[in-house]
Chain A
Amino acid sequence: MTDLSVMPPKKAIGPIQWMKRNLFSTWYNVVLTLVVAYLIVTSVGPLISWFFVDANFMGSDPKDCSGAGACWVFISQRLDFFIYGFYPGEQQWRVDLMFLLLAVAFVPQFIERFPGRKWLGLFGVVGLPVAGYILIPGGPFGLSEVESTKWGGLMLTLILAYIGIIASLPIGILLALGRRSEMPIIRGLCVVFIEVWRAVPLITVLFMASVMLPLFLPEGLNFEKLARALIGITLWQSAYMAEVIRGGLQAIPRGQYEAASALGLGYWRKMGLVVLPQALKLVIPGIVNTFISLFKDTTLVLIIGLLDILGTVQSTVTDPSWQNVAVEGYVFVAFCFWVFCFGISRYSQSLERKLDTGHKS
């Protein structure tokens, strides 16, 4: 016999008991359960047949689509355009190499025991942008040049999001520290910067970057539209990031600052070794939230004429040779965004668990 006083009580017994208790316990629960079940049955079935059963996967032109289900032929036929934009076909291996490097750097981050995980992560943050800077535009090492106007699709989306993310974090940290600085000039500058950028919609920032900025810059100092958009996105994003991080800094008890000072750590060491590691850990959910929303906001570059993944799809679904493929196109875009955003979100959760060292001080 087991002694009841030391055993936790057993959970509900079997699926029928569970359903009785959770789905059919009262008359209104019964009604709700039946209504929801009806909705699920009537909607999931058609969705499945549209997505898979009636869908056309094989083929090479619009005639291969029956029209009864999704026309995935459209996606597979135009995939190159959705991924590379107008990047010339014989040079696309350079982009593929970047995708590979991206995967090598970040996929192991999900595997706890992967050897050299940290170094790969470091490569992802430092080496990857350098590699991309050489590979994608070309120029050095006999790589033929590909102008940024030809970049597009998923590749462009990733470039915008990636640069925006890794550049805005350090700038955001500095702005947050500056806003909490005791030096009035530095604090004032940071407050003005943050409040100005944060109060402006990203669309406006992009318009300014693409239309207004060239008017102010002297003749000859006109750099590419993509670079201007990137700078705009990064500065706009760092203002948001700064406020998220400031929230974390404010949550660190004064005693932590004092203990670090009392040990003789100067300002930068105190912040870098004691305060920021704790503050950033606290605001991981906020940081990731900002990352994800930036990732999706990059689609706004459409309005200044850059063709990101949404742009490439949008410009193709109106192609008269393909009929009624808009839904397939947008589902594909949604799926691409979901894969990346979900990945970021999962990674942040595992990071939170790993960094959890128990109580706050």
Chain B
Amino acid sequence: MLNEASGIDAQSSPGGQQPAVKPDIIRIEGVHKWYGGFHVLKNLNLTVRQGEKIVICGPSGSGKSTFIRCINRLEEHQHGSIIVDDIELTDDVRQIDSVRRDVGMVFQHFNLFPHLTVLENCCLAPVWVKKIPRKEAESTAMEYLERVRIPDQANKYPGQLSGGQQQRVAIARALCMKPKIMLFDEPTSALDPEMIAEVLDVMIELAGSGMTMLCVTHEMGFAKTVADRVIFMDAGEIVEQAPPQEFFSNPKEPRAQKFLQQILQH
């Protein structure tokens, strides 16, 4: 089996910065998923330790987005088990909701709520889901908006912001729920080139704060800077996983070699 190697990974973690005793926060075992007759996810196994940063890459249609969306049950898996922070994702709505409270997500197309201001976007879930008083939620929101460097846009509507600003608001909105895990689903691929850096900077800073992050992205520079592990998926399988230096300099699987060749050509 390819991926039952999390124990080995723990020892080969890059630079040994992570103390080996950090507990697992996500455990995924034998996950399969089908869309009708199409087998999108094939026997995925992955264990993520607290504070770990994982970059998932692979050709389009390889199931990476579907995979990451299974972790907060935006997609349902049909076989195997996903355990997030000791809660197994099943059909039980309450368990799903409590996982979602702890898992933030950032989407490719931002998905800000266009009828609410930036500040209201950030306060919505803390106020209605966590029942935090509005004043307190607003001051927390302002803190995070400062962290993503757009406190001055707090009272604008998302439609008035640039793509990069919108994505930073989306990151702040997710952080306002004080999640333990952040999922990023191609956060920079809908952005104009000059706006990618401002979003990546925020993500790098977030990585530095010790957040557990799973990130589907093609930003290989980002992967090299922050990732503890790079996971390469193709045709619904995890084909290879390795620390970034090893993955980029010396990919083992032919499919990974071919993919890297293609994206690094330019």
- Using a CB–CB cutoff of 8 Å, the interface residues on chain A facing chain B are 253, 255-256, 258-266, 269, 273-274, 277-278, 281, 355, 357-361
B258 touches A (CB below 8 Å): no
| CB pairs A–B below 8 angstroms (19 shown) | A253-B111, A255-B111, A256-B111, A256-B113, A258-B107, A259-B107, A261-B74, A262-B100, A262-B174, A264-B129, A265-B129, A269-B128, A278-B113, A357-B114, A358-B160, A359-B159, A360-B114, A360-B159, A361-B113
Tell whether, in the assembled complex, residue B111 and residue A278 are in contact, meaning their CB atoms are under 8 Å apart. Answer: no
| Contact between B158 and A255, CB atoms less than 8 A apart | no
B109 in contact with A274 (CB, 8 Å): no
> A264 and B113: CB pair below 8 A?
no
Which listed residue, B109, B159, B177, touches A358 by the CB 8 Å rule? Answer: B159
Closest to A359 in B: B159
Tell me the complex Cα distance, A143–B57, Å: 76
Q: Are A258 and B125 CB-contacts (below 8 A) given A357-B157, A358-B157? A: no
Contact A265 to B111, CB < 8 A, known contacts A258-B74, A357-B157: no
A360 partner residues in chain B, CB cutoff 8 A: 114, 159
Which of A253, A277, A355, A361 has a CB less than 8 Å from the CB of B158? Answer: A361
Q: Quote the shortest CB–CB distance from B99 to chain A (angstroms).
A: 9
Given the contacts A255-B107, A259-B107, A357-B159, A265 and B114 also touching, CB distance less than 8 Å? no
Within 8 Å of chain A (Cβ to Cβ): is B97?
yes
Q: Which residues of A contact B93 (CB under 8 A)?
A: 266
Q: Which of A263, A265, A266, A357 contacts B115 (CB 8 A)?
A: A357
C-alpha spacing A273/B97, complex, angstroms: 17
**Interface-centre pick from B100, B103, B104, B170 (highest chain A CB count, 10 A):** B100
The residue of chain B having its C-beta at the shortest distance from the C-beta of A281 within the complex is: B115
From known contacts A357-B159, A358-B157, A359-B114, infer whether A265 and B74 are also in contact, taking CB-CB under 8 Å: no
Q: Do B112 and A265 touch across chains, with their CB atoms under 8 A apart?
A: no
Contact with A along B150-173 (1 / 0, CB 8 A): 000000011110000000001001
| Residues of A with C-beta under 8 A to B112 | 259, 361
B residues in contact with A263, CB < 8 Å: 100, 124-125, 129, 173-174, 177
Give chain A residues whose Cβ lies under 8 Å from the Cβ of B140: none
**B110 located at the interface, meaning its Cβ lies under 8 Å from any Cβ of chain A in the complex:** yes
Q: In the assembly, what is the distance between CA of A265 and CA of B160, in Å?
A: 25
Nearest B residue to A280 via CB reads: B115
Report how far A355 CA is from B115 CA in the complex, Å.
8
B47 contacts the other chain (Cβ, under 8 Å)?
no
Chain A residues within an 8 Å CB radius of B113: 256, 259-260, 274, 278, 361
Contacts of B109 in A (CB 8 A): 255, 361
Complex contact B100–A358 (CB within 8 A): no
Which A residue's beta carbon lies closest to that of B74? A258
Interface flag for B180 (CB, 8 Å):
no
Report the minimum CB–CB distance from B168 to chain A (whole Å).
15
- Cβ contacts under 8 Å, A274 to chain B: 113, 124
Interfacial chain B residues near A357, Cβ < 8 Å: 114-115, 157, 159
Instruction: Give B104's nearest chain A residue, CB to CB.
Output: A262
Residues of B within 8 A of A264 (CB): 97-98, 100-101, 125, 129, 177
Q: Which residues of A contact B217 (CB under 8 A)?
A: none
Q: Which of B107, B114, B125, B159 has the most chain A CB atoms closer than 10 A to its own CB? A: B114
B31 to chain A minimum Cβ distance, whole angstroms, is 19
Top 5 A-B pairs ranked by shortest CB distance? A358-B159, A359-B159, A259-B111, A263-B125, A255-B111
Interface centre among B74, B101, B115 (most CB of A within 10 A): B115
Output the least CB separation between B182 and chain A (Å). Answer: 11
With A264-B129, A274-B124, A360-B159 given, can you name 15 additional A-B contacts, CB distance below 8 Å?
A259-B107, A261-B72, A261-B74, A261-B100, A262-B72, A262-B100, A263-B174, A264-B101, A264-B125, A265-B125, A265-B129, A359-B114, A359-B158, A359-B159, A361-B110
B105 close to A (CB within 8 Å): yes
**Cα separation A266 to B160 with both chains bound (whole Å):** 28
- Compute how far the CA of A15 lies from the CA of B98 in the bound complex, rounded to whole angstroms: 69
The residue in chain B whose Cβ has the minimal distance to the Cβ of A278 is B115
Task: State whether A269 and B111 are in contact (beta carbons under 8 Å apart), knowing that A262-B74, A263-B177, A358-B159 are contacts in the complex.
Answer: no
Nearest-Cβ distance from residue A217 to partner chain B, whole angstroms: 41
Query: Chain B residues near A278 (CB, 8 Å)?
Result: 113-115
| Residue contact B129 to A361, C-beta cutoff 8 Å | no
Give Cα distance in the complex from A248 to B111, angstroms: 18
A238 CA to B129 CA, complexed, in Å: 31
**Separation of A255 and B173 alpha carbons in the complex (Å):** 15
Q: Cβ of B125: which chain A residues have Cβ within 8 Å of it?
A: 263-265
Q: Nearest residue in A to B173 (C-beta to C-beta)?
A: A263
Q: In the complex, which residues of chain B have a beta carbon less than 8 angstroms from the beta carbon of A262?
A: 72, 74, 100, 103-105, 107, 174
Assembly CA distance A263 to B123 (angstroms): 11
Residues of A within 8 A of B129 (CB): 263-265, 269
Could you say which residues of chain A place their CB within 8 Å of the CB of B74? 258, 261-262
The CA of A349 and the CA of B157, in the complex, are separated in Å by 21
In the complex, what distance in Å separates the CA atom of A357 from the CA atom of B156? 9
Complex Cα distance, B157 from A281, in Å, reads: 16
Q: By the criterion CB–CB under 8 Å, are A358 and B173 in contact? A: no
B24 CB, min distance to chain A CBs, angstroms: 22
CA–CA, A361 and B169, complex, Å: 13
* CB-based nearest B residue for A357: B157
**Bound CA span A253–B114, Å:** 11
In the complex, the answer to whether A273 meets B159 with C-beta atoms within 8 Å is no
